[in-house]
Structure 1
Amino acid sequence: MQDTSTHLATKQAEVKPPNVQDIRLIVVDLDGTTVGETNQIRPAVKAAIQAARDKGVEVAIATGRMYQSALRFYNDLQLTSPLMTYQGALIKDPASGQVHQHLTVPRSYVAQLLEFLGTPELQSLVSVHLYIDDRLYVREINAETIAYAERSEVEPVAVGDLRQVLDTEPTKLLALSQEIDLIDRLFGSLQKRYTPAELYLTKSVATFLEATHPLVNKGNAVQYLAEEILGLRPENVMTIGDNFNDLEMLQYAGLGVAMGGAPAGVKAVADWVAPDVEADGVAAAIAEFVLIGTEF
């Protein structure tokens, strides 16, 4: 895997704009990028994606969502490339059922995280979700889990003590809290406890703290899709995202686009900033760099 910090430095040193004729693959995030408050893909975004595909450009999804949750968007867009889910931990081709990659979180680290997040002072403030074999396991069904499950369109399984389901290694652990400052503190604390070689830690939204296998991130997943499956190079790739879990794929791509609603730290690594999700930013980016002078 190419070192993303080196790649980013190289990108920032370039003075010429990207050669948009080279874009052969567009990779989009879902929530906050392609999917907004309605939990649906807006018509203008759908039309732009279809127009890009009509020009022979591949379009793929890279999301933190579960595979079963992301699948309806994949089908709605009638995509054909493998679907990258769980921040890239699971890369699967819906058409053939082929699993290209499935990286799980080492059981020992999951047990440590459950102990850390299960202290009496945190239990009432933080919900913990474990994802095993594309199913969602939780300690209990609470308001946060209900809201998450409704948006994701999945059925959570309440098991009480999550350690009892660790016979199989999870694909991802998610800690949720409406207290953003608490999530920030937990994120900082876990970054001190674990090196990047032990766990990949990220925030997909301000209230979500996620832990996956250390080799998992969207940049690695997009590189695998582009180079190993499609035979492309970074300069052939445009990625579009809105949050910190999108950083690596924005850094990898020849053209990284941040959404208008992205945090400043995400916009700082992007080559271009699109309007926000409710203003059809994905459609604007595709029109700017792929559908130049094309009506759609």
Structure 2
Amino acid sequence: MFLFFPYRSFFTLFFRIVQKSAILDRNSDTTGEPMKHKVIALDLDGTLLTPNGDITDYTKKTLQRIRQEGHQIVIATGRPYRMALHYYRELQLDTPMINFNGSLIHIPEKKWAGERHYLLDKKYLLEFLEQAETFEADFIAGEYKHKFFLTQDHLDSIDPQLFGVEKIGPETEMKPERITSDPHSILMQTRAKDKYQLAEEMNRYFDYGLEINTWGGPLNILETCGKGVNKATALAYLLETMNRTAADLIAFGDEHNDVEMLQFAQIGYAMKNASNTLIPHADRRTSFSNQEDGVARELEALFL
């Protein structure tokens, strides 16, 4: 069963976008006054991570100093939980994390009453399998919080580290009889030359009933979640649990799956290396790319 975000979260998101221009004038770093404590939402691939998938020592130290100043860091990523956990640990975070582009909101390795799962009807996963050749798929994966199943027809095109494992084994092979529960998301790597065009074609195929987005970074990855699920609606819910508002939020991203998040935040930053599909939706751009510690340099200028 697919669960939609509460109406209140959708209303919060809509109201936030409508009122954004007015809020941008409030608590601005251009006033000369210190900014109040903020919630800082960070995408991973193409944003916080280098092209090699690392977090530099400079970025780690800068984020630690930011937290010491009273600001809160939240990871908001399309990555599955197991593929983001080691970054959460590296940064020594204790805040909730958003995975699967908003389908999972939780505090890693802890029980939390506010944890939320927004699942995708498994019928879509079965339909993806039927359309694998049409979508030019290297692999299709059904993603769950603690497990995954994926097609293994093109094993040479699959990087096990993408799934947080040492190797891809038969126990993870996608078979229709193994799809007994609804996944959080569907992950697909494609051979299509234009992943943005393919995403649009897939959206048309599914009559715009799903959220199909591209990942940042060098891989040709598309991720599919249920309609109405995105990083912004997840952050709207998360801010409510923290007794904060969108006026307290700063966000950084680089790809199409960050559009709603940047629109929702008080200040939305597109990375210097951001996709052209994201740039029109950002308030500002970082002066440096993800290869140049762009997030850390911007936060240092804002707060330190």
After TM superposition, the score normalised by the length of structure 1 is 0.86
Q: Contact 1:18–1:254 (CA<8 Å) still a contact in 2?
A: no
**Residue 155 of structure 2 corresponds to which residue in structure 1?**
142
Candidates 158, 168, 187, aligned match of 2:199: 187
Residues 136-285 of structure 1: matches in 2 within 5 Å? 136-140=148-152, 142-146=155-159, 149-154=160-165, 155-158=167-170, 162-181=175-194, 183-196=195-208, 198-205=209-216, 207-227=220-240, 229-274=241-286, 275-285=288-298
Change (3 A) 1:17 1:61: same
Q: CA separation in 2, counterparts of 1:62 and 1:39?
A: 16
CA deviation map 1:221-269 (0-9, x unaligned): 1111112x21111110111111111111111110111111101221211
User: Out of 113, 119, 127, which is 1:104 matched to?
Assistant: 119
The answer on whether the counterparts of 1:49 and 1:283 sit within 8 Å (CA) in structure 2 is: yes
CA RMSD of aligned residues (A): 2.4
Task: Tell me, yes or no, if the aligned pair for 2:142 and 2:149 is still in contact at 8 Å.
Answer: yes
Deviation track 1:150-187 (CA, whole Å, cap 9, x = no partner) reads 24532545455532221011111112124332x33431
Q: Which moved more, 1:268-277 or 1:202-211?
A: 202-211
Secondary structure in structure 1 of the residue aligned to 2:143 = strand
Q: Which runs of 5+ in 1 are unaligned?
A: 292-296
Who is 1:294 aligned against?
none
Distance 1:185 1:116 in 2: 16
Pairwise CA distance, 1:69: 1.3
The residue identity in structure 2 corresponding to 1:162 is: K
**In structure 1, distance between residues paired with 2:94 and 2:256:** 26
CA, structure 1 residues 157+3, in 2 after alignment: closer, same or farther (shift >3 Å)?
farther
The C-alpha deviation readout for 1:60-115, integer Å capped at 9, x for no partner, is: 10111111111111111111111111112111112423361111111222222221
What letter is aligned with 2:62?
A: A
Q: Distance in 2 between matches of 1:161 and 1:129?
A: 7
Residue 128 of structure 1 aligns to which amino acid in structure 2? I
Q: Tell me the SS of whatever aligns to 1:264.
A: coil
Answer yes or no: is the 8 Å Cα contact 2:12–2:236 preserved in 1.
Answer: no
Which residue number in structure 1 is paired with residue 77 of structure 2? 63
Q: 1:157 to 1:104 in 2, by over 3 A?
A: farther
Alpha-carbon separation, structure 1, partners of 2:273 and 2:173? 36
Q: Taking structure 1 as reference, are residues 234 and 130 closer, same or farther at Cα in structure 2, changes over 3 Å only?
A: same
Contact 1:25/1:58 (8 A) holds in 2: yes
Q: Do the aligned partners of 1:219 and 1:252 also contact (CA within 8 Å) in 2?
A: yes
Could you tell me how far 1:18 is from its partner in structure 2?
Answer: 4.8
**1: CA distance, partners of 2:135 / 2:73:** 40
Structure 2 gaps, min length 5: 1-9, 30-34
Following superposition, the deviation at residue 15 of structure 1 comes to 7.2
Q: Which has the higher mean CA deviation after the structures are superposed, 2-11 or 159-168?
A: 2-11
Identity between Structure 1 and Structure 2 (%): 24
How many residues get paired? 283
Q: TM-score, normalized by length of structure 2?
A: 0.84
Q: Distance in 1 between matches of 2:85 and 2:55?
A: 13
